[in-house]
């Protein structure tokens, strides 16, 4: 993750090059070496596992250069839409290292995956019927079934996928569900993987471990029922919660492996190939967002800094501030960290609704027009998945490399121009509704 000195160095270079400033008042940054270090930490934590595929959850950062960096670092890719599949292929992931997990796959998506040899996890028993009809005899795809162990809800209900009424997977505790799952495997010898996803942010490690232990137990039960070792791999969906309170990485991938080992040591004995789907925990702390302070005002006795980073790049933080708080630092216009006395102030975004505030009464050095605000730990699900409210253009994103005392910025995503925005909004069809 970038340290404060590295953040300041990146900001200085960004303002010097003009990629952050009046013409481009908000931008995202990715620490290139930090991403590689996070992948290494993941691989080291699973070093004792004989066969494991670490598939990055593309939704966490669907930027092609970032995906290519992860592929180069040895990752696979988990995708959940035709767009993510296309990005993964374009980034250079081999089809056999891609896993398709969408809960609403069309026949076309299923057909493409089966043709290319992309692994897929059926979300429900009806989807297995579709695969029955579409699967060519020579398909190389590993096919699994997603089940919901229904172990409960974490702190953030919307991020918990193993609740009694979750839309994902086959609900195992529903009457007759386990028997139907066993029968589905018995009827389909090509069905060789079992998948579960308890959740990530807001889900404590013991809850995640309970769900994945149930997955392992079900695999053993099914293999005994069918009378052969049919299930050969387990897809341990979900990831780690991220600590957004400070610079500390907690929990770690080692913590994850230890908790799972304590509750179900057989998960790691080599009986099953393992697939992981980490996303946020690999990228969040390796990225930050920076924005220009355009105005500072007072309302009701409260100081408000109006910036160019709001819900369009921090959607979850704005709408669920208690669940997704973001750390902020204030900097001068050249990137230097401000060290003046702190005062409580709101930091608001540019969108035209009153709730567009990323921090309320936050203690920060008094921000002034032209200063910069940094939103930390935003490498996943922030600037890479912008919200198009108010037709604000998507910000540029830059990779940051610190080497031999120099800071180098490389383009990851070019800032969207206003002409591009007009075209995306139907510009080439401007007269379509008024022309007879």
Mean pLDDT in order along the chain per 10 residues (436 residues):
87 97 97 97 95 97 98 98 98 98 95 98 96 95 90 51 67 90 96 88 77 92 97 92 86 92 93 95 96 97 97 94 92 96 97 96 97 97 92 97 92 97 96 87
Question: Is the previous residue joined to 251 through a cis bond, with omega within 30 degrees of 0?
Answer: yes
**Whether the Cβ atoms of residue 33 and residue 402 lie closer than 8 Å to each other:** yes
Are residues 104 and 124 located together in one domain of the fold?
yes
State pTM to two decimals.
0.94
Is 219 a member of any domain? yes
CATH number, position 12: 2.40.37.10
Is 435 a member of any domain? no
Domain boundary among 282, 312, 329: 282
Are residues 262 and 306 located together in one domain of the fold?
no
Q: Which two tokens stand for residue 139?
A: 């398909």
Are residues 13 and 89 located together in one domain of the fold?
no
- State residue 156's pLDDT score: 45
Is 431 a member of any domain? no
Domain boundary among 229, 249, 282: 282
Are residues 76 and 205 located together in one domain of the fold?
yes
Is 230 a member of any domain? yes
Are residues 401 and 277 located together in one domain of the fold?
no
Is 160 a member of any domain? yes
- State residue 104's pLDDT score: 94
Q: Phi and psi of 218, rounded to 5°?
A: -65, -40
Q: Phi and psi of 294, rounded to 5°?
A: -90, -40
Is 433 a member of any domain? no
Are residues 8 and 84 located together in one domain of the fold?
no
Are residues 278 and 288 located together in one domain of the fold?
no
Are residues 255 and 344 located together in one domain of the fold?
no
Are residues 258 and 376 located together in one domain of the fold?
no
**Whether the Cβ atoms of residue 197 and residue 161 lie closer than 8 Å to each other:** yes
* Number of domains forming the structure of the chain: 2
**Whether the Cβ atoms of residue 275 and residue 197 lie closer than 8 Å to each other:** no
- State residue 403's pLDDT score: 86
Q: Which candidate, 414, 402, 275, places its Cα nearest to that of 11? A: 402
Q: How far apart are CA 114 and CA 96, in angstroms?
A: 11
- State residue 334's pLDDT score: 95
Are residues 348 and 233 located together in one domain of the fold?
no
Domain boundary among 256, 282, 308: 282
Cβ neighbourhood burial of 162 (10 Å; 0-12, 13-18, 19+):
buried
Is 268 a member of any domain? yes
Q: Which candidate, 314, 416, 396, places its Cα nearest to that of 355? A: 314
- State residue 164's pLDDT score: 61
Q: Which two tokens stand for residue 370?
A: 């032209």
Is 436 a member of any domain? no
Are residues 260 and 349 located together in one domain of the fold?
no
Give every CB contact of residue 259 below 8 A, 6+ residues apart in sequence.
Answer: 205, 206, 208, 209
DSSP-assigned states of every residue in 110-134: HHHHHHHT-EEEESSHHHHHHHHHH
DSSP, collapsed to helix, strand or coil, labels residue 245 as: coil
Contacts from 37-40 at CB under 8 Å and sequence distance 24+?
A: 38/281, 38/282, 38/283, 38/285, 38/286, 39/70, 39/73, 39/74, 39/75, 39/282, 40/73
Are residues 333 and 409 located together in one domain of the fold?
yes
- State residue 151's pLDDT score: 64
Domain residues for 227?
A: 32-282
């Amino acid at each position: 993750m970038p340290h404060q000195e590295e953040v300041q160095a990146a900001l200085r270079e960004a303002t010097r090059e003009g990629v952050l400033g009046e013409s481009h008042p908000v931008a995202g940054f990715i620490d290139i070496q930090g991403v590689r270090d996070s992948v290494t930490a993941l691989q080291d934590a699973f070093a004792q596992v004989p066969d494991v595929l670490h598939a990055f959850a593309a939704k966490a950062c669907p930027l092609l250069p970032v995906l290519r960096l992860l592929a180069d670092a040895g990752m696979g890719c988990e995708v959940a839409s035709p767009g993510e599949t296309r990005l993964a292929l374009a980034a250079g992931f081999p089809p056999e290292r891609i896993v398709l997990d969408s809960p609403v796959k069309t026949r076309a998506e299923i057909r493409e995956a089966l043709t290319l040899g992309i692994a897929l996890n059926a979300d429900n028993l009806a989807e297995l019927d579709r695969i029955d009809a579409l699967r060519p005899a020579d398909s190389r795809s590993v096919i699994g079934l997603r089940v919901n162990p229904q172990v409960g809800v974490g702190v953030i209900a919307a991020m918990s996928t193993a609740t009694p009424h979750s839309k994902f997977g086959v609900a195992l505790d529903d009457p007759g569900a386990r028997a139907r799952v066993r029968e589905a495997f018995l009827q389909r010898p090509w069905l060789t993987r079992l998948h579960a996803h308890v959740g990530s942010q807001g889900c404590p490690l013991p809850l995640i471990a309970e769900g994945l232990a149930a997955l392992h137990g079900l695999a053993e039960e099914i293999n005994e029922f069918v009378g052969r070792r049919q299930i050969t791999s387990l897809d341990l969906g979900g990831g780690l919660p991220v600590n957004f309170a400070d610079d500390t990485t907690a929990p770690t991938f080692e913590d994850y492996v230890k908790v799972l080992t304590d509750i179900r040591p057989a998960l790691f004995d080599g009986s099953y190939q393992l697939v992981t789907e980490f996303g946020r925990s690999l990228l969040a702390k390796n990225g930050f967002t920076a924005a220009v302070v355009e105005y500072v005002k007072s309302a009701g006795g409260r100081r408000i800094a109006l910036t160019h980073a709001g819900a369009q790049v921090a959607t979850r933080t704005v709408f669920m501030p208690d669940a997704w708080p973001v750390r902020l630092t204030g900097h001068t216009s050249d990137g230097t960290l401000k060290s003046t006395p702190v005062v409580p102030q709101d930091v608001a975004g540019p969108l035209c609704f009153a709730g567009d505030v990323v921090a309320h009464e936050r203690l920060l050095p008094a921000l002034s027009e032209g200063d910069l605000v940094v939103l930390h730990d935003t490498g996943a699900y922030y600037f890479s998945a912008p919200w198009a409210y108010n037709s604000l253009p998507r910000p540029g994103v830059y990779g940051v490399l610190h080497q031999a005392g120099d800071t180098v910025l490389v383009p990851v995503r070019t800032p969207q121009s206003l002409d591009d925005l007009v075209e995306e909004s139907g510009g080439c069809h401007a007269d379509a509704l008024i022309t007879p």
